[in-house]
Structure 1
């Protein structure tokens, strides 16, 4: 039996964090939090302060109900905080997930934990300001192929060779890919140094017949790509029907 003092402490923590988490339906007990939030798909978790992870550490044995969105933004968090969230406290289902760093950093050690909870995200994943290595990039596409929209915003990654997605993206549901500002000089540099790598990425995606069928739109806004040659690249590899946004 849980000590009464511990139960009271948990209730206080939930009440103190209700505004920061923007759930607005907390009352004074963990049970009330779980019951009320679970009936409203409009609620989301917004983490913009490292202190807010403290709540999830305290509630890591509580099943977090379905949420509309999970947003983690622009702060320096500890690796263990992400591990706690992804391993113990991530919602059963969420429509959208956003990880927004304020500076360019490598995808940290919790990458595997993120991949593990990826099936719980149903529609959109947005990743900002991350350095993703070649192995991680392929695993990321495979883990998120069930989504409708994948947004890699100002992300730095390399595609020195044409990746083979022929089997990896089988049955993919991806309809939109957004690479806004990935082609900038301090990211992938698709205009000069790594001009061929955008082509390698497109050719790799085109190895999947299911990707050719599902993909409807690619955004390369502020990627410094030539419009005519980019459209020709898509057409030459069976993606001529895909709308490309510059």
Structure 2
């Protein structure tokens, strides 16, 4: 039996219209293209959780058009920055790229209220500075403290 991961990923994208409030994708490994597709497909949910994920963000994704009418209020990245995941302690530029990409969407800028960085090896102060540079000062950074 041939297990093609792209088939499963496409099914998850196609199912997005069936989910209305909250979605969790735990322990996924997503390249930049997949991450952009996933966030765009679930832009209508209020809570998007990506805990323990490996997120490859070598450049800032352009969400300016992909997240039109975005409703995401909370983004949970808990443990996705851990050393066994995206390792943001040693790859802080990838976290910066993610935030810059999120900030490129005017609608997400209006909807987003909270981002969890629990266990991501980034201090709350570092994260707040990165969000401020991207004019997202209104976002409450939650790090578990």
**TM-score, with normalisation over the residues of structure 2?**
0.93
**Structure-2 separation of matches of 1:108 and 1:153:** 20
Q: Which residue of 1 aligns with 2:33?
A: 135
Question: Where does 1:172-211 land on structure 2 (aligned, <5 Å)?
Answer: 172-192=70-90, 194-211=91-108
**Structure-2 separation of matches of 1:119 and 1:79:** 24
**Runs of 4+ more than 3 Å apart:** none
Q: Which residue of 1 aligns with 2:47?
A: 149
**Structure-2 separation of matches of 1:109 and 1:195:** 31
Contact map agreement 2:32 2:61 (CA 8 A) in 1: no
Partner of residue 239 from structure 1, selected from 136, 139, 144: 136
Q: Which residue of 1 aligns with 2:67?
A: 169
* Shift, 1:128, TM fit: 1.1
**TM-score, with normalisation over the residues of structure 1?**
0.56
Contact map agreement 2:131 2:137 (CA 8 A) in 1: yes
Per residue, is there more strand in 1 or in 2? 1
Q: Which residue of 2 aligns with 1:223?
A: 120
**Structure-2 separation of matches of 1:130 and 1:228:** 27
Bigger Rg, which one: 1
**Structure-2 separation of matches of 1:216 and 1:162:** 20
* Structure 1 stretch displaced more, 128-137 or 169-178: 128-137
Contact map agreement 2:64 2:105 (CA 8 A) in 1: yes
Contact map agreement 2:88 2:94 (CA 8 A) in 1: yes
Residue by residue over 1:8-33, the C-alpha shift from the partner in whole angstroms, topping out at 9 and shown as x without a partner, is xxxxxxxxxxxxxxxxxxxxxxxxxx
Question: Where does 1:19-38 land on structure 2 (aligned, <5 Å)?
Answer: none
Residue by residue over 1:20-53, the C-alpha shift from the partner in whole angstroms, topping out at 9 and shown as x without a partner, is xxxxxxxxxxxxxxxxxxxxxxxxxxxxxxxxxx
**Structure-2 separation of matches of 1:204 and 1:230:** 15
Unaligned runs of 5+ in 1: 1-77, 81-106
